[in-house]
Structure 1
Amino acid sequence: MPETARRSERARAAILTAATELIRELPYGKLSVEAIAARAGVGKQTIYRWWPSKGAVVFDAMLELDAGPDGLALPDTGDIRADLVPLLRGSVVALTDPGFEAFLRAIYIEIQHDPALAALYRERLLLPQRAALADRLAAAIESGELRADLNMELALDLLLGPIQSRWSLGLGGLDEAYADAVLDAALAYLRA
């Protein structure tokens, strides 16, 4: 790797690390590109070379932090409930993790105001997650576990919507029991 590329990668890593640290230290409204640049030891023009906004930097830092080894594929053990329990419980854990929740709340706020970031969020996170879940549901339809006339978009919303809604409204009560109740209610409709 040429020295210029190594320097660029070091700067990029420093920026994402700085954003990760600062989002945990500051309220999102007080976080700035200038603060990220100062913490990373780069000029703010370096940040703007790679990201169009503060929200885009925070989003990439969140994705780096959340990168998992398994990608987006869901298991297929032949038992749809057993395969979806970890997904819904994991969503609750991620949404309520004090170390990660600040990222999620920041992105949630930012995508309401930044159409470009909203599009990036949909493209890089939301739609791939929904597609992975749709693939698993399609396999369950094929095996006869779920009804053949299932409306896929409605099924995805029934499984993902209640947890997201409760979290975004700050209603609390997000725990494993709630995730299991959502799953059981959705499966009561989705099963063959």
Structure 2
Amino acid sequence: MARWRSGTRERLQATALQLFAEHGYDETTVAEIAAAAEVTERTFFRHFADKREVLFAGQDDFSAMFTGPVADAPDGTPAFSLVRRSLDAAAAFFPRDRRDWSRGQQRVIDAVPALGERELGKLATLKIHLGDALRAHGIDEPAATIAAETAVTVFHLSFAQWIADGEDRDFAAIVHERLDALTRVVHPGS
């Protein structure tokens, strides 16, 4: 077995995703992932609590990617501008070279109902954290909750388009397209 080295986490994720695609999520074991990645099961568990976490690791970083720009914004920044700042920061997390991984990850999630529920839970948690960040920044209710819900919806729709077959635009371009569409809905004629 190979010794632990940098890149092990990423190798485990890539190996797991490949095995999930080939054999199915439920049929793939942690032992098989570890063996295929040439590490021990113990090494696997140093990086992930279980095989599900291979797909969902980094929840705190994911939320911080949205909430950090809100916390760092100047006082008095309007809610919609905070949403835009959050989504711009999120777009930077999805470079073109991450698209294939994200497509494969989503195929696995879509194939297993329990993983789909976990994905929805991740988005619900994001709405809560972003709403809290908006309120902490001085956005009153119900605007804070509406803005958080809106940001997550725009993110979710943008992500779905970004991983769609044949899509090759940058994530940021898709986010801005959806934000512009939202602006036209809220402010017709703008």
Cα drift, residue 111 of structure 1 = 1.5
1:176 aligns with 2:172: yes
Query: Taking structure 1 as reference, are residues 19 and 57 closer, same or farther at Cα in structure 2, changes over 3 Å only?
Result: farther
Map 1:42-191 onto structure 2 (within 5 A): 42-43=40-41, 50-51=49-50, 53=51, 56-60=52-56, 62-63=57-58, 67=61, 70=64, 73=67, 74-75=70-71, 77=74, 78-79=76-77, 80-98=79-97, 100-123=98-121, 125-135=122-132, 142=140, 155-156=150-151, 159-170=154-165, 171-190=167-186
Instruction: Determine the C-alpha separation between the residues in 1 that align with 2:184 and 2:138.
Output: 14
Instruction: Determine the C-alpha separation between the residues in 1 that align with 2:62 and 2:151.
Output: 22
2:55 touches 2:105 (CA, 8 Å); kept in 1? Answer: yes
Query: Taking structure 1 as reference, are residues 20 and 86 closer, same or farther at Cα in structure 2, changes over 3 Å only?
Result: farther
Letter in 2 for 1:83: L
What RMSD, in angstroms, separates the aligned Cα atoms of the two structures? 4.5
Instruction: Determine the C-alpha separation between the residues in 2 that align with 1:153 and 1:69.
Output: 12
Letter in 2 for 1:92: A
1:81 touches 1:183 (CA, 8 Å); kept in 2? Answer: no
Matched residue SS, 2:40: coil
Cα drift, residue 109 of structure 1 = 1.0
Structure 2 residues not aligned, in runs of 5+:
none
Letter in 1 for 2:123: L
Letter in 1 for 2:12: A
1:23-54 CA-to-partner distances (Å, cap 9, x unmatched) read 69x5862485414334252259x86x952x5x
Query: Taking structure 1 as reference, are residues 27 and 41 closer, same or farther at Cα in structure 2, changes over 3 Å only?
Result: closer
Count of aligned residue pairs for this structure pair: 168
Matched residue SS, 1:142: coil
Query: Taking structure 1 as reference, are residues 63 and 101 closer, same or farther at Cα in structure 2, changes over 3 Å only?
Result: farther
Query: What is the identity percentage for the equivalent residue pairs of Structure 1 and Structure 2?
Result: 14
1:19 aligns with 2:7: no
Instruction: Determine the C-alpha separation between the residues in 1 that align with 2:148 and 2:64.
Output: 24
